Chain A
């Protein structure tokens, strides 16, 4: 109610009627917000705390509240499968973010050259983002199937020794996740960059051109630095997708062969829901939250700072 300053309040009506109806009006916005705030407090913050408490207990099949301190975290630290999952996340996340950024930037710059049919191309690049990761996983599982997919197709063209069997190779399976995830999300990064490019002030480019800078040089020295905020948000969104990746792994490799392509999200689900290790699963969920916060907090910090400095 910042707008009804004391000076205009008398105009709102006779004081007697204000007391009940006016009071209700003043409280209505807060009443409308209250359920959402309560939901957020309980289901987001409360549940985070709850999971943290579970992670401090010896819970197995069912939650129990027998506290064991940080023993579950200690178990996690010596759990080979957790290390595989975490290392995979670093490899998968790093490659996924880097390739999406590179591909997205190149496609956006190329699309920004007054291309005929730009709209149609953009639509084609972006549509995978509308699909479920389960669908993406199912399709790529089929394409990567050595016996029937891409490998078999290239072999049938006469390249008998062609090998592309990453999906059944424990050392390479995690890279199939990268391929499918890049396919799904890079178009979205392209859209972000394209919007960023369209937002750059033409006069900067004209000035650079008058100075006799070549086109690649203009892009490298002028345009790309202008896109810094877009890079920032893209990294944020992509790493968030990477940490949460669960459905893609389930549908594409199901963590296999063995647990070679496990990610923390599948590790957590497997332990909490199918292997009756609720305590250990909760501890892994808390570490995932820590990972998200480690990315989010610097991002929010710099966002707020840059906004304050104009």
Chain B
């Protein structure tokens, strides 16, 4: 690539300098909210006065975090967001595992065992990625009621699995399509069956796409609010719903530091995943858009 500003003339240096300046200003724009959130969450309320948005805490304290985790009021109850954090985990883990497993098997069947109409079936399923979920909310609420799963964690898991498999199937299908078929046809000739080929040939090379799918599903479900608010009761709500209730609870004086600590708690799991596996996170985001 020679289309870079390279020559070290005076003008080029200025250009290079402004380039970095712009990039750093942009980085500050993205960083500012997180920094403010973090700083505010360790300030005592006395230090939160007009104009002190960016000032560092004089007397840093973890009390807001403790309160956000275990005591802050979310609606009528005052037990913090900790309980709901574990609700989210109890919903996310099974939903991610089930939807990823189903997606892997679907992707495998759709690419390595093609049959007449299999592409059409894939297109049919893919549509589920695009619908606005508002269009399924009311029927879902009624169906969950019939199944006896209203306001339960199991109901939320079911909903997330149902609307997650379109994405996981897309991931695995696009990945398996690129796996060479020669090995598989040879195995078929040797009489190896459906699951055996999957287990022995496809699964060992699937690590990257499993990571992509798990991360995608994890962030989607952890960050979900719509299904959480529509289909949960007070004791089964996920942490995003609890956070929103905490921030909008009007009893007592507003404690902004506690709000920010609770927001940090709700954000941490996905942030950690992003920092540890950013590459796969980006791949999940771009799957199906760039590669088509």
Contact = CB atoms under 8 A, between A and B. Distances in A.
Given A127-B34, A139-B36, A148-B50, A110 B19 contact: yes
A105 to B, nearest CB: 13
B90 interface: no
A298 interface: no
Contacts of B143: 43
A134 B27 CA distance: 22
Contacts of A281: 138
Contacts of B20: 115
Interface string A180-215: 000100011001100110000010011001000001
B271 interface: yes
A112 to B, nearest CB: 8
Contacts of A233: 289-290
Given A3-B181, A111-B23, A13 B30 contact: no
B50 A285 contact: no
Contacts of A153: 51-54
Contacts of B113: 1, 28-29
B17 interface: no
B263 interface: yes
A32 B109 contact: yes
A273 B230 contact: yes
Contacts of A23: none
A132 B267 contact: yes
Nearest to B246: A138
Contact of B27 (A13, A124, A150): A124
Interface string A298-309: 000001000100
A44 B29 CA distance: 39
A96 interface: no
Contact of A48 (B50, B136, B240): B136
B171 interface: no
Interface in A220-254: 223, 230, 233-234, 236-237, 240, 243-244, 246-247, 250-251, 254
Contact of B36 (A142, A223, A236, A251): A142
With most chain B CB atoms within 10 A of its CB, the pick from A37, A47, A110, A284 is A47
B177 to A, nearest CB: 14
Interface residues of B, number: 100
A246 to B, nearest CB: 5
A174 to B, nearest CB: 19
Contacts of A112: 1, 4
Interface string A111-154: 11111000001011111111111111011111100011110110
A44 B127 contact: yes
A12 B230 CA distance: 53
Interface in B113-127: 113-115, 118, 121, 124-125, 127
Contacts of A16: none
Contact of A192 (B23, B224, B289, B292): B289
A129 to B, nearest CB: 7
Contacts of B225: 132-134, 246-247, 250-251
Interface in B194-244: 194-195, 219, 222-226, 229-230, 240, 243-244
B29 to A, nearest CB: 7
A126 B282 contact: yes
B59 interface: no
A269 interface: yes
A289 B36 contact: no
A127 B31 CA distance: 9
A33 B121 contact: yes
A240 B132 CA distance: 8
A129 B285 contact: yes
28 contacts: A2-B114, A8-B189, A12-B191, A13-B191, A28-B194, A36-B169, A37-B124, A39-B165, A43-B163, A125-B26, A126-B282, A128-B30, A130-B273, A135-B243, A138-B259, A138-B260, A139-B36, A141-B247, A148-B48, A153-B52, A183-B33, A196-B290, A215-B3, A244-B134, A264-B134, A268-B134, A278-B138, A307-B292
Given A13-B191, A51-B135, 4 more contacts: A50-B138, A63-B142, A273-B230, A289-B131
Interface of B: 1-5, 19-20, 22-23, 26-27, 29-34, 36-37, 40, 48-54, 102, 105-106, 109-110, 113-115, 118, 121, 124-125, 127-128, 130-140, 142-143, 162-163, 165-166, 169, 181, 184-185, 188-189, 191, 193-195, 219, 222-226, 229-230, 240, 243-244, 247-248, 256, 259-260, 263, 266-267, 270-271, 273-275, 278, 281-282, 285-286, 289-290, 292
